[in-house]
Each structure stands twice: as C-alpha cells, then as structure tokens.
C-alpha cells in the first residue's frame, strides 16, 4: 500500500517542532496538489488548505474538491478575486493576454489573490506546492525557491519521490475519481482554454469545448493579442489550421500561483543532484 507507506514515513520523519508549524497548502484541483495536501496533513498539525477559484475551470472540479475534503477530513477554503469573475473578464478588461511578465489571468486571478491572503495571514512556516518528482517539475521548484524564498515553499511530492502517475494511483486507491479534464486527455486541470496552451492544445479545445474556443478567438480579436505565436509571429485562433500542434506532446505546466517562474526552461545544475538523491529539495539554493 503505497499511500500507507508514504504516510507512515512522513509521520516517522517529522519531529514535534515541525508538526506544530502553521502551514498553507495549496489545493488546485490538480491530482498532484491533492496528494501534496494529503501528505501535508500527515506531516503537520496546523495545515490550512486553500483553493483559488478562477471561474474558468471544469464544473467537475467542485465534485473533486468535495471528494478531497472528505479524504482530508477537513474543509478546503475557497478564495477568489474580488475584481474579476473569470479569465474572459480579465483579458477583456485588461486588453492583454500573455507576455514576458506572464499571463494576465494568472496575475489577477491567482497571484493577486495569493498576495491578499498572505497579507491577511501575516505569517506562516511553509507553503506546500504540488510539484511532482519529474526533472522539469524539480527545476520549477528550484526556480520558485530561488525567486520566491519568502513563501517558504515545501515540495512533499519531490521529497517523497512521488510522480504524477503515482499521485493518480494514490487517488484511485483512496476511491477518488480524478478530475474530468485528465480523463479527457489533458495533462493538467488548468482552466478550460488555458492561455498558456500550445497549438495542439487549442485544436483539442476546439473539438472538446467549441464554445470556449470561439469565445477566446473573439477575445483575441477584440483585444488585438493572441495566445499563440510561432517563428513568424502571432497566430489568431480563428486562423489556426486544424492540423497544427500535437496535444499529447505539448506539456503545459500546471498554472501555479506564482505568475512567472523565470528560467523554468533552463535546467538548474541542482536538478540532477536532487534526482540522484545527493541533496534534498529542501537544501537547494
Ligand atoms: S490556468 Fe491558464 S487560463 Fe487559467 S489562470 Fe492560469 S494561465 Fe490563465
């Protein structure tokens, strides 16, 4: 029983002082964050679970969140922007989609909401993130730690060597159905019609959620910006050839609450050391 083994290990390796720390655990309706929250609850006594509602996720998310609350035996607090209702609202009002400083929707619907909560809480001993045990995810975790040390990030899945398929298996063993977007073949549970998606992703959205595709195509025209670009420049969704891109090969990172993690495409030298077990994710600098 992998779940029991991991939870037992967590309890054994955690001392009294750690257990009494105040921890924020970010639940995103993704499979990895769901398991990271479960592990956090086994490690610490004072864990506060938070979910940021963007208003643009799949309706099945509320079922998944409620199943996980039962699994945790604890409520997940849902917080959201008090300025914007959803992704469409942000892009239309800000007249901006995505760029070098990150996506407008991540900034307004996630980062600003997280800032507000952090201000209200004042202090914490750690924030639990659902990055899993995969070279790219380890790299993102290292970059996050380097760029946002004040969040005091914790990555229990990397520490315990838990991959995304492992997390799915753990949910299956707990009797929790994974969120609908994974079942439809998406590699994460970002908003439906994520502005960070590639050409294959958008062609899949065109088939699975035609109304979302058409709405985003209209927004692009209204604001004069695009989600997609290639070497020749911008590609408006209403001009995207149906044959372009491959949704299976395109891996869009989960939309974290950090707006833009710089250098996430460049592997830090410490990734290999973490993978080889030479250092812990907690020891990277
Ligand atoms: S998941 Fe995608 S669409 Fe939703 S807030 Fe994040 S970047 Fe924007």
Radius of gyration of the chain (CA): 19
109 Cα nearest atom in ligand 1: 5
Q: Please, is 16 exposed, middle or buried when counting C-beta atoms within 10 Å of its C-beta (0-12, 13-18, 19+)? A: exposed
* 201-to-119, 204, 249, 252 alpha-carbon distances in Å: 36, 5, 9, 9
- Per-position DSSP letters for 220-283, written without gaps between them: HHHHT--SEEETTEEE-GGG--TT---TTT--PPP--SSS--TTTTSPPTHHHHHHTTSS-GGG
Q: What's the pLDDT at 280?
A: 85
User: Candidates 102, 103, 219: which one to mutate for ligand 1, based on the most atoms within 8 Å of Cβ?
Assistant: 103
Q: What's the pLDDT at 6?
A: 60
Q: Is residue 189 within 6 Å of ligand 1 at its C-beta?
A: no
CA of 59 to the centre of ligand 1 (A): 15
190 Cα nearest atom in ligand 1: 1
User: Candidates 26, 54, 228: which one to mutate for ligand 1, based on the most atoms within 8 Å of Cβ?
Assistant: 54
Q: What's the pLDDT at 264?
A: 64
Q: What's the pLDDT at 275?
A: 86
Q: What's the pLDDT at 278?
A: 83
Q: Which residue puts its alpha carbon closest to atom 3 of ligand 1? A: 194
Mean pLDDT by 10 residues, the chain (285 residues): 57 58 95 97 96 97 98 98 98 92 91 95 95 92 90 95 95 96 93 94 97 98 95 94 83 62 70 84 83
Which DSSP category does 60 fall into? T
Q: Which residue puts its alpha carbon closest to atom 7 of ligand 1? A: 106
Tokens of 281: 């994710």
Q: Is the four-CA dihedral 217, 219, 223, 229 of positive or negative sign?
A: negative
Q: Is residue 195 within 6 Å of ligand 1 at its C-beta?
A: yes
d(CA 103, CA 210): 22
């Amino acid at each position: 029983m992998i779940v029991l083994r991991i939870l037992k290990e967590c309890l054994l390796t955690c001392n009294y002082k750690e257990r009494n720390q105040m921890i924020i655990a970010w639940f995103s309706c993704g499979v990895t964050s769901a398991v990271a929250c479960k592990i956090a609850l086994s490690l610490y006594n004072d864990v506060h679970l938070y979910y940021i509602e963007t208003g643009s996720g799949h309706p099945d998310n509320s079922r998944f969140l409620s199943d996980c609350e039962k699994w945790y035996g604890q409520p997940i607090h849902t917080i959201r922007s008090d300025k914007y209702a959803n992704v469409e609202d942000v892009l239309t009002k800000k007249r901006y989609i995505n760029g070098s400083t990150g996506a407008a929707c991540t900034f307004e619907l996630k980062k600003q909401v997280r800032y507000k909560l952090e201000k209200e809480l004042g202090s914490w001993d750690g924030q639990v993130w659902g990055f899993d045990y995969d070279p790219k995810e380890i790299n993102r975790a290292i970059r996050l730690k380097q760029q946002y040390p004040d969040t005091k990030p914790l990555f229990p899945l990397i520490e315990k060597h838990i991959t995304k398929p492992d997390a799915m298996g753990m949910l299956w063993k707990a009797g929790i159905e994974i969120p609908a977007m994974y079942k439809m073949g998406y590699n994460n549970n970002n908003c439906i019609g994520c502005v960070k998606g590639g050409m294959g992703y958008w062609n899949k959205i065109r088939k699975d959620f035609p109304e979302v595709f058409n709405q985003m195509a209209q927004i692009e025209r209204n604001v004069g910006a695009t989600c997609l670009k290639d070497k020749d420049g911008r590609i408006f969704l209403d001009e995207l050839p149906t044959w372009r891109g491959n949704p299976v090969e395109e891996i869009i990172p989960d939309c974290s609450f950090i707006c833009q993690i710089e250098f996430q495409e460049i592997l830090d030298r410490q990734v290999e050391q973490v993978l080889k077990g030479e250092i812990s994710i907690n020891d990277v600098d």
